[in-house]
């Protein structure tokens, strides 16, 4: 299940992706638009900054903005950063693999096989969707006008 942290991260990034190019957004404005707790959002944005997804400027015209074009930030990258591996169990993970203590034959374990399929299906979707895709989808459905907040 997607954590609230990952959900707020994606919503904040969506706000940044839909703001006019070169515009900095204040945490308070993002929090208000997405009905997110400001302090929690500050921590999330700091984590996104450490990973190079956003950057920030202090001062009068400061705030946050995307560090890369929206088409270069995948949903999978953000979810992994916030929530960790996509696999539902450690033995099915590619990035955080750990064997199960109770498994007699991991190669043929029916649970692991199904959970690998789950992991692969989720990764296929999340790693092939970007912030640009989210923005285009919202614009297509009349939820936003691109470049306008």
Domains and CATH numbers, the chain: 1-70 (1.10.10.10), 75-128 (no CATH)
pLDDT of residue 39: 97
Q: Contact, 31 vs 37, CB < 8 A?
A: yes
Going by the DSSP 8-state scheme, the letter that residue 54 receives in this structure is E
Q: Which residues share a beta bridge with 74?
A: 130
**pTM to 2 decimals?**
0.87
pLDDT of residue 148: 44
Q: Which two tokens stand for residue 110?
A: 């029916």
Residues of the chain short of pLDDT 50, as ranges, are 147-149
pLDDT of residue 146: 52
């Amino acid at each position: 299940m997607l954590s609230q942290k990952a959900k707020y991260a994606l919503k904040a990034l969506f706000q940044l992706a839909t703001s006019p190019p070169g515009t900095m957004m204040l945490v308070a404005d993002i929090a208000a638009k997405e009905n997110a707790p400001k302090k929690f959002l500050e921590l999330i944005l700091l984590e996104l900054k450490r990973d190079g997804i956003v950057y920030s400027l202090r001062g009068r015209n400061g705030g946050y903005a995307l560090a890369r074009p929206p088409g270069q930030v995948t949903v999978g990258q953000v979810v992994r950063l916030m929530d960790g591996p996509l696999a539902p169990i450690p033995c099915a993970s590619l990035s955080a693999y750990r064997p199960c203590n109770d498994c007699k034959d991991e190669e043929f374990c029916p649970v692991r096989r199904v959970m690998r399929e789950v992991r692969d299906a989720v990764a296929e979707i999340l790693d092939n969707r970007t912030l640009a895709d989210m923005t285009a989808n919202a614009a297509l459905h009349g939820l936003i006008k691109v470049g306008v907040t």
